[in-house]
Amino acid sequence: MANLQTRLRQLGSVDALLRHGEVQPWLAAYPHELVVEALRQALDAVRAVILAGGDYPGAKAVLALAEERLQAQLRPTLQSVINATGVILHTNLGRAPLSEAVLEAMQQAGTGYSNLEYDLDMGQRGSRHVHAEALLCRLTGAEAALVVNNNAGAVLLALSALAQGREVILSRGQLVEIGGGFRIPDVMAQSGARLVEVGTTNRTYVDDFGAAMGPDTAALMRVHASNFRIEGFTHQPALAELAELAHSRGCLLLDDLGSGTLLDTAPQGLPHEPTIQESVAAGADLVTFSGDKLLGGPQAGMLVGRRDLIARLRRFPLTRALRVDKTTLAGIQANLLHYLMGEALQQVPVWRMLSMDVDEIARRGRVLLDGLGGLADGCQQQEGRSMIGGGSLPQESLPTMLVVLPMGTATELARQLRAGDPPIVARIHEERIVLDLRTVLPHEDVRLLQRLRDVLA
């Protein structure tokens, strides 16, 4: 017991450590309360070690631990990571990375003042809703457009403003749930619209919708199954069929595309994903989709469609709660300009990844292995598949070349990769760590190599 008390007394106090020469620069650089908190945490950690039977490690070790805790207090929890998983639209990793032009536009909008809600021609108050509208209309063929904070908000807004207290008819095969337990029936209930289910899980016909329609029906709705797929004995009515039925009965047709794309995915070797333009052309009165999935821009929810409906949405009180800020609008504009200029495949990172040639991925993998030198023993390249992710093109993938790291404890190696700066998020395949360079941005190759050298050494 005496020995334990002696070791505990060696710890000293926070006040004593505050007078230590090594701590003085900390006090000059950081708030006093943060330094005190770091010292207290270090002392508590070492005290726990001593009480468990360990030795006092010395003042130098205590101060090193305190400095580590001090830096941890100041380190942002949101940080950049290298995505080596091969999942292009990785929801947990922030979905779409942004182009340089988008980042520049967002920085410029945030650096100073802007005409966010000011009409420069008239010299009076304007509307933030106009900034992305012209581009969205030109690219989609819609009469009008509105931007809110995400697609779930866009769907909630449309249902609340256009169908509150009335019926919305939806196929049972489209009662989808997206990430985080967010379900279409729950959104319907929150909006005040009454859900009417028709058809079966696998087969629904336009006549099912017609039979369910009545004087209280506000809209028919299609929800694109963007994160799952039903195969086999299936049927869903074409959007044009639903549009004709809805309009013949004086009702609306709402189309929730979920991900939403302006480009055909077929040329990339993927199944055709319904485009926003196709929905508008087929007669949907209002189309909702995401800005940060296949569109490849900042997080947002887009609504395009009839001018009178968009006008109603703008006046609806919920719109103000869902609006986006100036930097997001600037980023959306810059991202849409890539499509207008016909350069999306080259400039939008998501589309650059989707169209990346396997030979190019293999070449980058060889450069990485060459850079590892002798540390590459046990590493190799092998064929694999990259996933689209982000609730887009379910179960679809693209061929790729994986960099396979040496045999070992894959879980521990994955932890080490995540623990560094920058963190590397990889995946485990057949008990080995694999890296898919399709989702590693080209400018990250050097940092990835440096981190791998540190870990494998």
Tell me the whole-structure pTM to 2 decimals: 0.88
pLDDT at site 430: 86
Put residue 414 in one of left, alpha, beta given phi > 0 → left and psi -120 to 50 → alpha: alpha
Domain extent listing, the chain: 2-74, 82-91+351-456, 98-347
Start-to-end CA span in the chain (Å): 43
Q: Would you say 159 and 168 are in contact if contact means Cβ atoms under 8 Å apart?
A: yes
Rounded Cα gap, residues 280 and 304, in angstroms: 8
Counting beta carbons within 10 angstroms of the beta carbon of residue 397, is it exposed (0 to 12), middle (13 to 18) or buried (19 or more)?
Answer: middle
What does the DSSP assignment read for 140-158?
A: H--SEEEEES-HHHHHHHH
1 pLDDT tier (thresholds 50, 70, 90): very low
Report the pLDDT averaged over residues 446-454: 94
Listed in sequence order, the residues at least 6 apart from 311 whose beta carbon sits closer than 8 Å to its beta carbon are 144
Amino acid at 2: A
The residue assigned the tokens 């979920």 is 258
Say yes or no to pLDDT of 175 above 90.
no
- Specify burial of residue 170 (Cβ count, 10 A radius: 0-12, 13-18, 19+): buried
CATH code of 82-91+351-456, in short, is: 3.90.1150.110
Residue 141 has pLDDT above 60, yes or no: yes
Of 198, 203, 277, 193, give the one whose Cα is nearest residue 233.
203
Query: Phi and psi (nearest 5°) for 383?
Result: -70, 150
Whether the pLDDT of residue 250 is over 50: the answer is yes
> What separation in angstroms does the CA of 15 have from each of 9, 40, 407?
14, 10, 49
pLDDT at 386 over 50: yes
Side chain identity, residue 392: S
Q: Does domain 98-347 have CATH number 3.40.640.10?
A: yes
Strands 167-171 and 194-198: parallel
Q: What is the pLDDT of residues 35-60, one digit of tens each?
A: 999 999 999 998 998 888 888 888 88
CB 353 within 8 A of CB 442: no
